[in-house]
Amino acid sequence: MREILHIQGGQCGNQIGSKFWEVVCDEHGIDPTGRYVGTSDLQLERVNVYYNEASCGRFVPRAVLMDLEPGTMDSVRTGPYGQIFRPDNFVFGQSGAGNNWAKGHYTREQHERPCL
C-alpha cells in the first residue's frame, strides 16, 4: 500500500486543505481528536494511506502545512479539525507577502527555503 504525504501551502492551500481533511476524516470515521469513531471496518481499510497511527490509538494526518505568516496556521489550529495535526507539521514564517506572489517569491523564498 502506498502512503501519501499531503502538502498545503499558503492561505488558499491551507483553507482548501483544512476542508479536505474534514472530508477525509468523515470518510474514515475519524473525529476531530484523531480517534476512530466509525461504524464500519471498511472505514479503516487503507486508512494508513493518509494517516499515521500513533501509539495512543490516534490517527495523525501525514501532512505538512506551510505559509509565510502564522495567521493562517492559527486559523487551521483553531478550526474544527485543527487539533488532529501534530504541532511540528506546521512550517511558517513571521511576516507574510501581503497577497503579493512576487514579494513572497523574490524576497521571502530565500529565507524560508532552509526550513523545509
In a domain, 1, yes or no: no
In a domain, 72, yes or no: yes
In a domain, 97, yes or no: yes
Q: What is the pLDDT of residue 76?
A: 94
pTM of structure: 0.81
Contact 73, 87 (CB under 8 A): no
Overall number of domains in the chain = 1
Does position 19 have pLDDT exceeding 80, yes or no? yes
Q: 42: domain CATH number?
A: 3.40.50.1440
In a domain, 15, yes or no: yes
What residue numbers bound the domain in which 41 lies? 6-115
In a domain, 74, yes or no: yes
C-alpha span between 36 and 57 (Å, rounded)? 8
Does position 110 have pLDDT exceeding 60, yes or no? no
Spell out the residues 6+ positions from residue 4 whose beta carbon is closer than 8 angstroms to its own. Answer: 49, 50, 62
In a domain, 66, yes or no: yes
